[in-house]
A and B are shown apart, each in its own frame.
Chain A
Amino acid sequence: MKKQRWLRPARIIISLLFLGGFLLVFSDVKAKLPSEITLFFTSFQFLPSILKFSHLPGIIASGFILILLLTILSGRIYCSTFCPLGIIMDILGYFKRKLPVKGKRRKYKKPLNFIRYPILGLAIVSLFFTGIIALNLLDPYANFGRIASTIYQPVFIAVNNLLSKILIGLEIYSVHPLTEKIFQPLPFFGGLTILLTIVLMVVVRDRLYCNTICPVGAILGLLSKVSFLKIKISSTSCTRCGLCQSSCKANCINIKELKVDETRCISCFNCIDVCEESSIAYEIVWKNKAVKTTKTDSSKRSFIKAGLVFLGAYPVLAKAGEVQEDSHPKRYCTRGPISPPGSQSIQHLKDHCIGCQLCISVCPSRVLQPAFLEYGFTGMMLPRLDNKVGFCNFECTKCGEVCPSGAIVPLTTIEKKTTQIGTVQFRQRLCIVESEGTACGSCSEHCPTQAVYMVPYKNDLTIPEVNPDICVGCGACEHACPVIEPHPAIYVYPNDTHQKALEPVTEKVEVETTEEFPF
């Protein structure tokens, strides 16, 4: 048998390119990267792609079909090559082996199916009761996104700002500092918890997460049973030296029986690389004895059932649960979270957002912030507009363009400008103009549609007046309002289901031109 030397290096190069791409995507603090590039990297992610396909079917959303086909053809290539969390685990594993403390040699381990499939089942079942929160917490890409957004991005910004500072000291202004508020405790500790969990799991067993917790790994693993290309050990030339077994990150090579557990094999090709006899190879297996056995695989069956129910119910589920219109007055203190333009409704967002933090990471005005409990427990880490931090830039459509799961539907600039995510509320008694008797107009100044406009008031002053029909809810007025206590005199009250704002009507100004100077 000829040794397939190129497989492992190819896998490593492609995976590093993908990781580089993902880091680039999460470094795009000022939304400079074309959205197509961002989508290229994220569209191969399994869960977001399914979610996007459920209501925005199309080529970009078909990434999961590609992954499924790839898995049928060649096993869990996705897990070792395209999954950013998997690549991170490989890198952590690499450093683990470089440590002076020698761990035990890797051995074959029995699959922890009693954890793996119930978790998958629970994640799917919980869909019917709590929405996609359980999948969110387990999805590898979403977890990578949380780590990238809360830990990698602040480090990137800090390094960029330091570099900028040094260069500005040398009077070179080519590197702009990015933003100042880089450290936010709550999201940071959330991201750190995830990272430490991953590190711990890598220390215990390299790909423990992928073969025990990860629902995507479980699904692709089941599918790998029928894939054409598989790792196969030749019983004739194998000397049972065990090198392959100890190189296996998934602990899935059983050297005693010369078997590879294909549900756990992530096609990393480490085994092929280390085999001195070239007796382990990646080859087409037309007939799979394991499939032919009459013994029924109950876990697989339950998976297929659950999977079919899931796929069938998903579109219905997505549409279900319309939010009731509230009748209470639109008070500041009782308002809920404001969801990003394009997310259609809070329900739509909760049904489709996996909380990967990508929109939050690329929002140039930083108005998008991760929710804690604003959307309720099942809405943790979902994007919400925080008008204390900033306001939604009228011309910007970035969040919808990059959203990999279609939770934020892409809007054209024209659509965005009439998408009403909330409406303006004005409390005149709090307004500076009334309480202090001095000019302000900060709100009207920032309003892109003049839904807030100034009308004559006492003593030559002007005071805001509002026209909620043309308000888009961008929050510029609220952000700019100088009143802080007890709350801004002007604020946005969210539309739980987004509405369409009327377009502002303006008349062309007429100016008489005179030949003479007016002074």
Chain B
Amino acid sequence: MKRREFIYRSVAASVASGALFTMGRWNTLMASGTNLSLPFDLVAVKNGRPAEMFDKGIAALGGMKNFVKPNQTVVIKPNIGWDSGPERAANTNPELVGHIVKHCLNAGAKKVTVFDNTCDEWTRCYKNSGIEKAVKDNGGQMVTGKMKNHYHPVDITRGVSLKKNKVHELILESDVFINVPVLKNHGGATMSLTMKNLMGAVWDRRYYHANDLHQCIADFATYCKPDLNVIDGFRVLKKNGPRGVSVNDVATMKYQILSTDMVAADTAATKVFGIETDRVGHIGIAEKMGVGTTDLDSLNIKRISI
């Protein structure tokens, strides 16, 4: 146990010291070995099935091999927060998650794990979202996000409101982190997108709600930068989010957004959803803190319509 703690502490320390030397793009502990120049800053795909859109999107970014090197470990963090089926769009589309697992393994990943710190009872969420089956069918492994001893303390050095939290060991240990939120309305955070989805990677969410939710979401985004973000906009929960009351809340919009920049991806997603980006507090705060940019015009964007 002591050895483990030591490793986590030293990883955290190395990140902290690394921060001093890192200019511009903030590299976190897991962004190892993917120092690449991608052909596009952001790829938006529409009018296809989730898997099909991902195929086109990832191809435009040069394929999964740009993100996953042979023998690396991958963690995928979809939104599996709720005990409801794919048609309700409260969770990430299972077809998409399964397909990403497949891409990672095809790129040579040693191990692909999937988890979420769910809101509803986790075994029911995993099962009824369809994600457990999709992941297992494609060779990935589901891990619980509900064991406190799987979370380890980290310092969020650039955090304003959130300075400490406990992060799931898969996020800390895996070589590659792929963040796969579902595009949806959110009663508290206005929208649930890439940065909001990271709340399922930490143990203490209550602190966020009690200490300026938007600031905390942005704070954590300064610390944790996924190697790739894929926003599932196939079915979109337009209201009553993040859980939804019935299928009446859902619109089939058939979008997908891929980017390494969470702020840019979230900005694009708000435009797809049809809400002003300014209204989603944490996007603006994150931009000010240097997580990314909301200025889509400054980015090299690939738009694919199937």
| Chain A interfacial positions (CB closer than 8 Å to B) | 30, 32, 161, 168, 171, 173, 176-177, 179-180, 364-365, 390, 393-396, 432, 436, 438-442, 444-450, 453-454, 460, 462, 476, 480, 482-483, 504, 506-511, 513, 515, 517-519
Contact = CB atoms under 8 A, between A and B. Distances in A.
Nearest to B304: A517
B248 A440 contact: no
B7 interface: no
B238 A509 contact: yes
Interface size range on B against A: 35 or more
A197 B249 CA distance: 57
B281 A439 contact: yes
Nearest to A461: B281
A519 B124 contact: no
Contacts of A519: 44, 267-268, 271-272, 296, 301
A394 B272 CA distance: 31
Contacts of B241: 445
A390 B120 CA distance: 9
B239 A509 contact: yes
B39 interface: no
Contacts of A396: 83, 121, 124
Interface of A is mostly: loop
B268 A394 contact: no
A506 B248 contact: yes
B14 interface: no
A518 B248 contact: no
A449 B243 CA distance: 9
Contacts of B279: 460
Contacts of A511: 236, 238, 251, 253, 274
Nearest to B267: A519
A394 B211 CA distance: 28
Interface of B: 44, 46, 83-84, 111, 113, 119-121, 123-124, 128, 141-144, 146-149, 186-190, 205-207, 209-215, 236, 238-243, 245-246, 248-251, 253, 267-268, 271-272, 274, 279, 281, 296, 301, 303, 305
A176 B123 contact: yes
A440 B44 contact: no
Interface centre among B121, B124, B251, B274 (most CB of A within 10 A): B121
Given A395-B128, A438-B212, A442-B205, 5 more contacts: A176-B123, A439-B214, A439-B281, A511-B251, A519-B271
Contact of A445 (B142, B242, B249): B242
Nearest to B281: A439
A373 B210 CA distance: 32
A180 B209 CA distance: 24
B124 A393 contact: yes
Contacts of A161: 147
